[in-house]
């Protein structure tokens, strides 16, 4: 559905499931004369499980000041009656996005190309790489590029990450488009549930380095890619999206890398798009994804 | 989710979209102390479009008498305020299903096997074929089988259909598992939105007879199957589900039929399952399918 | 292609790659006036790699005696010039197949149903289970069923396997259709490259027990199944075929099992079909699969 | 397989099937001491059908002069004994490719990006569009861009095509990357089997204009794209590749266009890649595609 985005808001809710949540939320929105465009919900178990909701609605004339008032009112009239995590996100304000990458370009180019054609609801504030190679390709899209060499020692790593944080400024999402560096626990904690990585295998198969080589050695008949939120444990964060492609005995490791690159860029692009559209809610080490 | 089905009800709603529907429905259910298990909704356009809702809820102690009362109350307190088509369907009462088939067994066997393992919420009352070949295979599942030869003239067709109707009795769904006979308009009208057919092509490609032969002649690289509700126009009814499979130049027509049979049986089984679970709402010549 | 199978032979070759193999083989077949129907080949590396060939040809009037002569002549005129593993398999003689299963029926039923409709080039000599439950379902297909309880101790296991071997007699392929018992190394060694197992996960993810439970805990977005030859190491044998299906946050473990069953039965059926059609050649811990 | 391309040649053969072709070809290559890297063949019917072969081989030291000699020798020693269409194509000489496009960029960008990363064995000589919009995007890749407005009358069309032909010069392949103009029969005939078009539907469904709108109206559950050689009849040429993607009731026409764009660019890229790698042989109105 093509929506006018002005005055459109997305409400995300996570709370223990219990009777009356939907009635309270929809009653509130109806009283405000909001026009509900999409609504999705999920309960892990109506008895003692957790409840998740995504609501997209239009409230004519709503601006950022009005949204602030709406938040206060929602907090008082609805949220205070339930132990609820929630947010009200203005659709007309693009999220700020930073991209970290290394030398290979496929995942990065896919994001930039989709962003340019209006497919990603974001302002890409900066692309940062530990190699200078992709500068021209990035700047061609009018996006600032910075080269921040990665550190070898922990001390150097921390300094590099400080530089990265300064260059990014405030950011709603950090995308690791084949960044190939392990981030420090402090960095990961600071941006919890906001860093999306693309791993070049069908997790949990082939956690860690060189997955295509290991996939080739194992003789698998499908290769895959996995987009997930980054947590302190390598390749163990909540999975957002995965996909696979068929391979045969005639494909060598370079073929797997080439074919895998196509899976990686699409899986990452879908995961980023869904995050930007507030379709992903983290539930422990899993995700609820309200796809269409 | 494994649900206890006793006292569980599915509410289906279709109406012009307008503010307040969700608030009214969820307020009503909350007041009845119903426990909502799943809820899905769709609007073709919040401004002047049509609204569709599927709600599965648990109301402790509800029996068929209680359901009748609930219907009356819902009609008065909710439905009367909107121009609403709606139904409240008891999940613990299986739908009555009849299957019509011909000589080939794959689609029929898939349904019987899934039904036997408890995957289809139905009572299969009867299997009727215009050929006697599959009698033993059907009766092995403990399902009555009847052989009703198809008529050549319209007069004979009408008589055959009368026999079929008598054998089926009241039925909630009729599945054409490769029945290969064109039904009369009267028959189709009588069971409107209740007859599901499997067509052995990816509609609207290859409408009509012998689709695999035509697919082979055209040199397509994918073959498909389509499950749809039957309407008066051949192969033009609302599509419920479609799927495809890759083929190559090395597959001849018999290969296409063999590979296609696998697509057909799965596409039909999914469509039938969704219909039985009240997941499909017809909207003109399209369907809303609330999949998981 | 629909082939008449009489006098049709499949030649399988594995050898170090070197110039002249194809010329020698095709020259030999041409001199015998064989009509080549299909020919596939693969080289892991033309320089020092391994070469694999599958050749299906028709030699009018060839019977089993003639085939024996052909083998002798091929050994002398072709194979002796190369360090070649090879076989000449008469297509008109179905392979002997035994199936081991447990309580769940989906993989077994799929094989029996495909076999009955002529889709598997095999004589199913026997179905053996460590549970009696599936007797009637198997015997309905006219296939002998035996219940051989599995042993708990190694001693009991060996006795059970001896009974199984006696019941199977000579066999070309043993299919583990969700057998759920770990075979002894002796048994596995005796039937090397002839035992096909279906593992209910996308290997190498979730090796071992209870893969659907672990897939659910990890929050994967695709579930899979893997057909592989059985070796001494659990779930580590050469992979023949794999496939996956999409799942969402709304599927619980029982849903995964139900959806996974559909993947399992198709992946196993394809792997068995390819083995029976001499399409699979084992290369170390991998397979060459000459699909169409 | 990563191949060094120097002195590597691809032999394509089409002829009526008859005994001795493979023996003659492989005997010839063996006598020349060629090292066969890949070999694929297909017969529509060993009795009276047509035979197709693709052979990739390495002949140390072979240059373009040597290739000319090889062609003469092959013509005399092999081809003259069969009514054979054949070609010997030097892999180390990239094919000349021209791209025609219009305003939308997705299919074009995918080709340019894959070409730049070395994935397409071609020299892209020129991109020509009937709109000026994509000039900067094309020139950024270092490829010449020309704007040739399309004609309305047949006279203007012929003049525009003359300009296009002049700008292209000699070319081995012309790719219509969403060109949206119907070419004249003369132009099509001149470049027979060398023009590849991407149609934005799963042919033969939705031949002609505005396929996504019609797919939406019909309520299909999968949308697709088709790459085919262009012939005089609109959207009726030999199909090279097709693919589909799942859609739901919640996708409007713009969503279908957006999702379809991803299918289009991959289907076209695969078809072009296969053509460049001599993997596609036209057989009447079908194609033989020797995929890996």
Nearest to B101 by CA among B184, B182, B176: B176
Q: What confidence tens digit (pLDDT) does each residue in B261-274 have?
A: 999 999 999 999 99
Instruction: Compute the nearest-CA separation of A76 from chain C (Å).
Output: 31
- The CATH number given to whatever domain includes residue C20 is 3.30.70.260
The CA distances from residue C174 to B7, C120, C169, C200, C285, in Å, are 47, 14, 11, 18, 19
CATH number of the domain enclosing C185 = 3.40.50.170
Nearest residue in D to A39, CA atom: D250
**Does A112 lie in the same domain as A20?**
no
Tokens (6 digits) for A192: 């919890």
Whether residue B162 is found in the same domain as residue B138: yes
Q: Does C254 touch chain B (CB under 8 A)?
A: yes
What's the pLDDT score for residue A4? 60
Label residues C148-186 b or e (16+ Cβ within 10 Å = b). Answer: bebbeeeeebeebbeebbebbeebbbbbbbbbeeebbee
Q: From the CA of C272, how many Å to the nearest CA of chain D?
A: 22
Q: Which of A219, A244, A285 sits opposite C244 (nearest CB)?
A: A244
Nearest C-alpha neighbor of C126 from the set C82, C177, C74: C177
Question: How many domains does chain C contain in total?
Answer: 2
Residue A255 at interface with chain D, using a CB cutoff of 8 Å: yes
D101-140 pLDDT, tens digit per residue, is 999 999 999 999 999 999 999 999 999 999 999 999 999 9
Among candidate residues A162, A235, A262, A278, the one labeled active-site is A235
Read off the pLDDT of each residue in C25-29 and give the average, rounded to a whole number.
94
The residue-averaged pLDDT of D72-81 equals 96
Q: Are residues B167 and B227 in the same domain?
A: yes
Cβ-count burial of D2 within 10 angstroms (0-12 exposed, 13-18 middle, 19+ buried)? exposed
- Which chain C residues contact residue B266 at CB under 8 A? 262
pLDDT at position B3: 46
Task: Enter the ipTM.
Answer: 0.94
Strand pairing report for B8-16 and B50-58: antiparallel
Q: Looking at beta carbons, which residues of chain B come within 8 Å of A41?
A: 39
Q: Which two tokens stand for residue C205?
A: 């993810």
- Structure confidence by residue, pLDDT tens digits, B195-208: 999 999 999 999 98
D216 CA: distance to closest CA in chain C (Å)? 24
Instruction: pLDDT band for B1, please (50, 70, 90 cuts).
Output: very low
- Using DSSP bridges, classify how beta strands D122-129 and D95-101 pair: parallel, antiparallel or unpaired: parallel
Mark yes or no for CB contact C292/B254 under 8 Å: no
Q: Does A202 touch chain C (CB under 8 A)?
A: yes
Q: Give percent of chain D with pLDDT exceeding 90.
A: 91
Closest residue, chain B, to D42 (C-alpha): B250
Q: Which of D220, D242, D285 sits opposite B239 (nearest CB)?
A: D220
Q: Per the CB < 8 Å rule, is B26 touching A30?
A: no
Q: How confident is the model at residue C2 (pLDDT cuts 50, 70, 90)?
A: very low
Tell me which residue of D107, D138, D110 sits closest to D125, measured CA to CA: D138
A129 and A20 belong to one structural domain: no
Q: Above 80 in pLDDT, residue B97?
A: yes
Question: Would you give the end-to-end CA distance of chain D in angstroms?
Answer: 10
- The sign of the CA dihedral C267, C272, C274, C275 is positive
Identify all chain D residues contacting B291, using CB atoms and an 8 Å cutoff: 248
Contact D27 C23 (CB under 8 A): yes
Distance CA(D279)–CA(D292), nearest Å, equals 9
Alpha helices in D191-252 (DSSP H): 211-218
Q: β-strands B286-289, B280-283: how paired?
A: antiparallel
To the nearest whole Å, the CA of B175 is away from the closest chain C CA by 21
Domain boundary residue, one of A63, A90, A117: A90
CA distance A35 to chain D (A): 17
Q: Please report the sign of the dihedral spanned by the C-alpha atoms of residue A81, residue A82, residue A83, residue A85.
A: negative
Structure tokens at C152: 């708990």
Determine the structural domain holding residue B231 and report its residue range: 95-289
Contact C292 B251 (CB under 8 A): yes
Same structural domain for residues C171 and C205?
yes
Nearest chain A CA: its distance from D190 CA (Å): 35
pLDDT at position A32, please?
A: 95
Q: How far apart are CA B227 and CA C272, in angstroms?
A: 29
Both C241 and C154 in a single domain?
yes
The tens digit of pLDDT for each residue in C81-113 reads 999 999 999 999 999 999 999 999 999 999 999
Mean per-residue pLDDT for D239-266? 96
Q: Do C26 and D29 touch (CB under 8 A)?
A: no
C39 to chain D: nearest residue by CA? D41
Neighbouring CB atoms inside 10 A of D116's CB total 17
Nearest CA to A40 out of B43, D216, B32, B79 is that of B43
B19 pLDDT exceeds 90? no
* A108, A84: one domain: no
pLDDT at A110: 97
Residue D154 has pLDDT above 80, yes or no: yes
For residue C254, the distance in angstroms to the closest alpha carbon of chain B comes to 7
C window 6-35, beta carbon within 8 A of D: 19-20, 22-23, 26-27, 29-30, 33-35
Q: Tally the C-alpha atoms within 13 A of residue C84's C-alpha that lie toward its C-beta.
A: 25
For chain A, which ranges sit under pLDDT 50? 1-3
Neighbours of chain D (3+ CB pairs under 8 A): A, B, C
In this prediction, residue A292 carries a pLDDT of 85
Contact state of C291 with A248 under an 8 Å Cβ cutoff? yes
pLDDT at D63 over 90: yes
Kindly state whether residues B99 and B71 are assigned to the same domain.
no
* Domain stops at, among C49, C72, C90: C90
Report the pLDDT value the prediction gives residue C205, as an integer from 0 to 100: 93
DSSP-derived pairing of the beta strands B280-283 and B195-199: unpaired
CA B197 – CA A191 distance, rounded (Å): 52
pLDDT of D47 strictly over 90: no
Q: Which long-range contacts (CB under 8 A, 24 or more apart) does A108-114 make?
A: A108/A134, A108/A137, A108/A138, A108/A177, A108/A178, A109/A137, A109/A265, A109/D113, A110/A265, A110/A266, A110/A268, A110/A269, A111/A175, A111/A177, A111/A268, A111/A269, A111/A272, A112/A138, A112/A141, A112/A143, A113/D109, A114/A269, A114/A273
Choose the final residue of a domain: A28, A58, A90.
A90
Q: Are residues B150 and B249 in the same domain?
A: yes
Which among B205, B248, B283 has CB closest to D205? B205
% of residues, chain C, pLDDT over 90: 91
Please state, in angstroms and rounded to a whole number, the distance separating the CA atoms of residues B211 and B225. Answer: 10
Q: How far are the Cα atoms of C61, C266, D41, D48 from residue C10, in angstroms, in the given order? A: 15, 25, 16, 21
Judged by a CB distance cut-off of 8 A, whether residue D109 touches chain A is: yes
Whether residues D246 and D137 share a domain: the answer is: yes
Residue A282, beta-bridge partner list: A287
Please give the pLDDT value at position D291: 92
CB C2 within 8 A of CB C38: no
> In terms of pLDDT, which residue wins out, B162 or B5?
B162
With beta carbons under 8 A apart, name residues in chain D contacting B224: 222
- Beta strands per DSSP E along chain D: 8-16, 35-43, 50-58, 85-90, 95-101, 122-129, 145-147, 173-177, 195-199, 222-229, 239-246, 280-283, 286-289
pLDDT level of residue C3 (50, 70, 90 thresholds): very low
pLDDT at D148 over 70: yes
Which of the residues D63, D69, D133, D235 is marked catalytic?
Answer: D235
Mean pLDDT for the stretch of residues D146-168: 95
pLDDT of residue B5: 87
Question: Does residue C137 sit in the same domain as residue C23?
Answer: no
Is B2 close to C119, i.e. CB distance below 8 A? no
Residue in C20, C53, C245 to test binding to D, most D beta-carbons within 10 Å: C20
Domain check: are C82 and C222 in the same one?
A: no
B105, B113, B140 member nearest C109 (Cβ): B113
| Interface with chain B: mutation pick from C107, C111, C133, C258, highest number of B CBs within 10 Å | C258
| D142-201 residues touching A, CB cutoff 8 A | none
Chain A residues within an 8 Å CB radius of B19: 30, 33-36
Inter-chain touch C219–A288, beta carbons under 8 Å: no
Rounded distance between C-alpha atoms, residue D97 and residue D177, angstroms: 12
Which pLDDT belongs to residue B48?
84
Residue indicated by tokens 């059985």: C230
> CB contact, 8 Å: A203 with chain C?
yes
Catalytic residues of B: 235
Residue D168 in this model has a pLDDT that exceeds 80: yes
């Amino acid at each position: 559905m093509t929506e006018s985005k002005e005055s459109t808001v997305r409400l995300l809710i996570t709370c223990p499931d219990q009777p009356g949540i939907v009635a309270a939320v929809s009653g509130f929105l109806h009283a405000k004369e909001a026009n509900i465009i999409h609504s999705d919900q999920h309960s892990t178990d109506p008895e003692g499980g957790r409840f998740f909701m995504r609501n997209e609605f239009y409230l004519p004339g709503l601006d950022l000041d009005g949204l602030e008032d709406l938040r206060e009112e929602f907090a008082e009239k609805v949220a205070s009656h339930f132990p609820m995590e929630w947010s009200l996100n203005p659709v007309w304000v693009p999220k700020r996005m930073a991209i970290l990458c290394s030398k290979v370009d496929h995942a990065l180019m896919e994001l930039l190309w989709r962003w340019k054609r209006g497919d990603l609801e974001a302002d890409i504030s900066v692309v940062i790489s530990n190699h200078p190679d992709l500068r021209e390709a990035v700047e061609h899209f009018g996006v600032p590029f910075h080269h921040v060499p990665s550190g070898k020692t922990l001390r150097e790593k921390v300094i590099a990450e400080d530089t990265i944080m300064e260059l990014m400024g405030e950011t709603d999402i950090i995308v690791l488009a084949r960044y190939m560096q392990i981030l420090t626990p402090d960095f990961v904690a600071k941006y919890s549930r906001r860093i999306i990585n693309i791993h070049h295998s069908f997790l949990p198969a082939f956690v860690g380095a060189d997955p295509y080589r290991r996939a080739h050695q194992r003789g698998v008949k499908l290769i895959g890619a996995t987009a997930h939120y980054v947590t302190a444990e390598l390749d163990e964060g909540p999975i957002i999206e995965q996909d696979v492609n068929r391979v045969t005995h005639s494909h060598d490791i370079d073929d797997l890398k080439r074919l895998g690159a196509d899976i990686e860029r699409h899986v990452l692009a879908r995961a980023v798009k869904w995050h930007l559209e507030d379709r992903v809610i983290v539930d422990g080490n899993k995700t609820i994804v309200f796809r269409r």
